[in-house]
Every structure is written in structure tokens, then in C-alpha cells.
Amino acid sequence: MSEERQTGRQGRTAEEDGAAETEAPQPLLEPVARPPAVQPSGPVDRGGQRLRHWWAGASPNLRGSVYMLSALLVYAVMVGAIKHVGGVIPLVQILLIRQIIMSMVILGLSGGGVGPMLRTRRPGLQIIRSLLTLAAMLCGFTAVIQIPLAQATAIGFSQVLFVTIAAVIILKEVVDARRWAATVIGFVGVLVMLKPSGDGLDAFALLAVAGALLNAGITVSVRMLASTERTDTILIWQGMVMIAALALPAWLWWVPPDAAQWGWLIVLSLFGTAGQWLITRAYQVGEAAALAPLDFSRLILASLTGFVFFAEIPALSTWIGAGIVVGATLYTIRKNARPFPREPASV
């Protein structure tokens, strides 16, 4: 019996039941017509029910993977837009506008009010994570604007190697000699992409490495916050800290955007908001080691975006170094992956 029919039966009064019993019996061949059980109105509703059932039964790492892949897709749009307007609009101004719009969206979608969203048990760690995010964006997006997208993205893969080191130092995880060897080999791949020469290392490529290191710190801090903090709490604290830090430099270097540039700024802000929420939720739900392999799809997206929209062709050293980093990272991930207790199915 469906829930709707059970509810309807429970809502009948005793008088109605008594009246029903005194009614003249109906012929056996003509039973009393009953309303049909509520069925999905079409294949879309049935598909939605199956999807919700699948999502409720999915493992934390699988749900985290869905969040992660969705984040990478929207981030590809955001990074392309930043590279497009970054040659004209100062990066601090782009980040300030992006963060203001993100905070407005989060506040607008908050169902429980601002008070619960701002409530945190670890304000110090929230501030540290927000400052790490600001520094990572300044380093990473500067590299994205100045060097080919594929190179900046491939260097960013070293984040997983930095996460391994941070897991040992901060999270006290045990790493054996083979995983340390894989980490060292991975950094050799990064060095290949940096193309050291007599003229020294590319400063913008070094900024991409710094961004990867800072992103590793963000990953670890999100894992530390995941047990006590809501996703919107993490993001709104990030918004407050970053807006306060960016307000003065953005005002000093402000460049009035034209209508087209405002359009791109709004697009990258909205996509950045969606991507930030999705990536934060991914690392709250799933293991960092289990989600990291999906990050390699960024290289395909970045190479395609760079080629189609900016006529960029990755250098051979980028592909060689990326191959070394990817191989070392996949080995590290496989060794580091360990299951952790399931969280409740409803997310």
C-alpha cells in the first residue's frame, strides 16, 4: 500500500468508518472503485526516483567523485574566462568581484539564515584556510594568465604529491619507502615541465608550483574541517576573509570593465561559485586519495581550451613531465587509498 493511501486511511474519523460499515453492500461483480495508486507521471519522474535511490545507496567516494567531476567541468569555463579577461582586468579585482558574487549567491541560497551559517567551532582554521585559498588563487591564476593552460594545469598536478607530504606531517599518516620514491619521481616530472636552463626557471611556472603547494594545504584543511563544519560555513568564511584582504588592492588598481568584460566577470564568478561548492563538498564526502585521479581530466580540458580559444600548443616537455607526474601520482594514490567509515546516506 502506498504512503499516500496509508495517510488517507489514517485521516478518516470513526464516524466515517461507521458510516461506511452501514452502507448497503455492493455486488461482488461491481466492486467499489478505488483511486489508483499514485504512479510517476512519466519516464522522467521514474528516472528521477531511480537516480535518488542510486544516490542514497552510493558510497561516499562515489558521491565525492560525482561532485569532483562536476567541479572540474565548471572550473574549465571559469579558468578560460579568467585567462580571457586577465590581460586587461587586474587579478585582485577579478578575485574580489568573484568573491562578492559568490558570497551573495551563498547568502541568497541559505535556507537556515545567516547566523547558523557563520557559526563555526574552528574560526582560526577557517581564517587560515581562507588565506591559503587567496594565496593559491593569486599564484595559480597568475600562472594561468601568463603561461599555456596545459602547462599550468600539468604543474598543478603536483598538488597530490604535496598532499602526501602534508598527510605525513599534519595528519600523521604512515608513508612507506616506495611512496616516498614515487613522490620524488613526481617532482622530477615537475622539474622537466619547469625547463630549467642557464637563464633560470620560469617565474610564472614557479608560481604554478606554489599554487599547487597551497592547494595541498587547502585540501588538508578541508579534511580537518569536514567533521564539524558545513559547506556553506566554509565558503562564507572564505568570502569574508578574502573580501577584507582584497578590498584595498582592488581599489588601488581598479580598472573600469566595459559591458562585455562585466559579462565575463559575472560568468566566471557564477561558475567559480558552483565549482568552489562542488570541490569543497567532494572533499568533505570522499577521500582525497580516492578523488585525486579524477583531477587528471583537467589536463585534457585545459589542453582543449588552450588550443581552441587561445591557439596554445603544449610543448613536448609539458607532455613528458606530465606523464611522469601522472604515473607517480597514480602509484601514490593507489598506495595511499584506504577506506574510511561511511557517512549517513542522505546528503
pTM above 0.75, yes or no: no
pLDDT at 241: 95
Q: How far is CA 286 from CA 55, 68, 161, in A?
A: 14, 9, 18
Looking at every residue in the chain, the average pLDDT score rounds to 78
Q: Note whether 152 and 143 are within 8 A (CB).
A: yes
> 249-268: per-residue pLDDT in tens?
999 999 999 999 999 999 99
Does any domain span residue 129? yes
Q: Report the C-alpha gap between 238 and 127 in whole angstroms.
A: 7
The whole domain housing 147 covers: 66-336
Say which residue, 231 or 175, is predicted with more confidence: 231
User: Which pLDDT value is given to residue 133?
Assistant: 93
Question: pLDDT digits over 287-321, tens only?
Answer: 766 676 677 777 777 888 888 888 888 788 888 88
pLDDT in tens, 100-123: 998 998 888 876 677 888 889 899
What confidence tens digit (pLDDT) does each residue in 193-240 have?
877 654 556 788 889 999 999 988 888 888 788 778 887 888 889 999
- Measured between its terminal Cα atoms, the distance across the chain in Å is 27
**Residue 203: inside a domain, yes or no?**
yes
Classify residue 102: in a domain, yes or no: yes
How far is CA 152 from each of CA 60, 116, 159, 171, 337, rounded to the nearest angstrom? 30, 38, 12, 28, 26
Residue range 30-50: mean pLDDT, rounded? 59
Q: Is residue 13 part of a domain?
A: no
Cα–Cα distance measured from residue 320 to residue 218, given in angstroms and rounded to the nearest whole number: 27
Residue 149 is assigned to a structural domain of this protein? yes
Asked if residue 73 is part of any domain, the answer here is: yes
Q: Supply the DSSP symbol for 296.
A: G
DSSP 29-55: TSPPP-PPPP--SSHHHHHHHHHHHHH
pLDDT confidence of 126, banded at 50, 70, 90? Answer: very high
Domains contained in the chain, number = 1
2 lies in a domain?
Answer: no
Counting residues of the chain whose pLDDT is more than 90, the rounded percentage is 25
Buried b / exposed e along 87-101 (16+ C-beta atoms within 10 A): eebebbbbbbbbbbb
